[in-house]
Chain A
Amino acid sequence: MKMSPEYTKAQERMQPGVITSDGFLGDDTRPIVDIIAADEQTMTKLGLDFETMCSLMHRLVAEGRKGLGEPVTVQNSWVARVDEARGFLASPFDDGIFRKINVELELAPNGKPTGEKILYSELSLHLIEKHHFFQGKGSPFRLDPAQAKKVLRL
């Protein structure tokens, strides 16, 4: 796939120090269209669809916020911890700003934590949902589709 001018601009805004200190690309040197294409392929292989996955992740944010900053057990399957900070982060695709809300979700069947975790933010969820962009390898907020499948029990 070719990089459109919009994607080129987005990739520039994903560099460290532009929107966030560590950026969105980690150690990944691939153009973002290639990162997106590779993760879309992985999603298909894993039998996952974006709508179902993102809808569940949104629901878990809402449940986690009820803990008021403390971890909370959700549906006897997960422990969700939601951290909120003042302000907003802009999307590198220039299509919105998002509250600084981070979610750490740990798989905990029957309330027993397994150590299997995923970390996502309101912004990173938007990037997956609208742009199928899971972030570059090595980025702190990259969500690996296989790990998401395991933790979200999809």
Chain B
Amino acid sequence: MNPAFFIAPLAISAVSAVLAALISLTDKIVNNYGEVTININGGKKKLQVNGGAPLLFSLAETGIYVPSACGGRGSCGACTVKVKTDIGPHLPTETPYLTKEQIADDVRLSCQIKVKQDLDIEIPESLFNIRKFTGVVERIADLTHDIKEVYIKLEDGQEANFVAGQYGQFEVPPYAKIRERTQRAYSMSSAPSDKGHLEFLVRLVPGGIVTTYVHEHMKEGEKVNVVAPVGEFHVQDNDSTMICVAGGSGMAPFKSIFNDMIETGKIEERDVWYFFGARTTKDLFYMDWLKELDAKYDRFHFIAALSEPQSDEPWDGETGLITDVLGKYLESVIDQEKTKEGYLCGSPGMLDACMAVMRKHDMKEENIYFDKFA
């Protein structure tokens, strides 16, 4: 037999192996940035990290969690950080998510830029308080046909300190065809005083990765991770009339806020109007509790509205889109003379529609508060 039959494949294999080794060696040399320093807020924190990873993940490794609604995939635009070091021009994967002002101000998407050199960055100091909690799902309850209440007991020794209205990044494990852990943001619905637990309201979104997991796979007793507390949404400390609007699982921060106001007595000190929109009676929940608050506290007013009440359902409340009902009350029911503040929780479209109604009724944009993370 011709020895070339054996020699040729061996020679090709040997050359391939040498090339693979060369590529591996080159990769280690070229992409080895060694240990680099991230200097945060003018030296308030200095981190030593191994270079080469995206800034978002390098920060998370050291316990600093920059909010991200997409888990670092570069599709939400939330993980902004000001980078004072010159690291080159903004990437095409960043610019669609940043305003001209942000680009001029050296704001970058931390999931898109890699740590290749020492960096000076600026982040809100509130991010220093965000941490990763581990807990066990103590209870999962059906609130409606598509909303679940998930109550998590934090592991011993962990205490959540948050302000009513803030949110957490809820993490679910890989499942079915999803190969990686996935995080999504949900407002805490538990009261801040319940430091040993975190509660979330999760509405099933068709095709949603985290919501499908919670609704179809999550079990009581299961371990979960939550990065919290995140967000600036909270009740301002003044005596303005609060105009609160939500729909669906947007109820969550208001449950936390109202329970906090009850505990601190503030529910008796200022006027609160809470507008909750749903389609039919089967989409309503917590009604007994909210009606009880309305009856018990003179200054608390609860208005539920159904956009499409069914003919076979008893309903004597408001009907129509929540924005129309809000407009009607701002026009003719709520005291025109008092200063008003808006508090909103819902989808970007719902927020825009509510803000338009509030502006039309002379509410100032700077007095309308929300977290646009939905």
Contacts and interface: CB of A to CB of B under 8 A. Distances in A.
Interface of A: 16-17, 19-22, 26, 65-73, 81-90, 97, 100, 102, 104, 119, 121, 138, 140-141
Contacts of B39: none
Contacts of A84: 347-349, 374
Contacts of A67: 279, 307, 321
Contacts of B182: 21
Interface stretch (B9-17, B19-27, B67-75, B194-202): B67-75
Contacts of B307: 67, 70, 72
7 contacts: A20-B73, A22-B209, A72-B279, A73-B308, A84-B348, A86-B69, A87-B76
Contact of A86 (B208, B247, B308, B348): B348
Given A82-B349, A83-B206, A86-B69, 20 more contacts: A17-B179, A19-B75, A21-B178, A21-B179, A21-B182, A26-B177, A67-B279, A67-B307, A69-B349, A70-B248, A73-B308, A84-B347, A84-B348, A84-B374, A85-B76, A85-B374, A102-B206, A102-B207, A104-B206, A138-B177
A17 B323 contact: no
Interface string B264-278: 000000000000011
A125 B93 CA distance: 22
B314 interface: no
A101 to B, nearest CB: 8
B209 A68 contact: no
Contact of A85 (B69, B250, B279, B321): B69
Interface residues of B, number: 41
Given A17-B179, A68-B321, A69-B346, A87 B97 contact: yes
B113 to A, nearest CB: 17
Contact of A97 (B96, B248, B278, B372): B96
B133 interface: no
A67 B350 CA distance: 8
A16 B373 CA distance: 23
Contact of A68 (B73, B177, B205, B350): B350
B86 interface: no
B342 interface: no
Contact of B78 (A65, A86, A141): A86
B337 interface: no
A73 B309 CA distance: 11
Nearest to B353: A68
Contacts of A26: 177
A21 B181 CA distance: 9
Nearest to A140: B207
B120 interface: no
Contacts of A22: 177-178, 209
A142 to B, nearest CB: 11
Interface string B246-285: 0110100000000000000000000000000111000100
Interface of B: 69-70, 73, 75-78, 93, 96-97, 177-180, 182, 205-209, 247-248, 250, 277-279, 283, 307-308, 321-323, 346-350, 353, 372-374
Contacts of A20: 73
A53 B273 CA distance: 43
A21 B374 contact: no
A35 B175 CA distance: 26
Lowest 8 CB-CB distances: which A-B pairs, in order?
A87-B76, A68-B350, A84-B347, A104-B206, A69-B347, A70-B279, A83-B205, A140-B207
Contact of B179 (A16, A97, A121, A140): A16
B372 to A, nearest CB: 6
A82 B350 CA distance: 11
A68 B75 contact: no
Contacts of A82: 349
A16 to B, nearest CB: 6
Contact of B209 (A21, A86, A119): A21
A141 B350 CA distance: 24
A100 B178 contact: no
B104 to A, nearest CB: 21
A20 B308 CA distance: 34
B179 to A, nearest CB: 6
A86 B373 contact: yes
Most chain-A Cβ atoms within 10 A of its Cβ — which of B70, B349, B350?
A: B349
Contacts of A21: 73, 178-180, 182, 209
Contact of B347 (A17, A19, A68, A141): A68
A68 B279 contact: no
Nearest to B76: A87
Given A69-B347, A70-B307, A88 B374 contact: no
A11 B373 CA distance: 30
Contacts of B209: 21-22
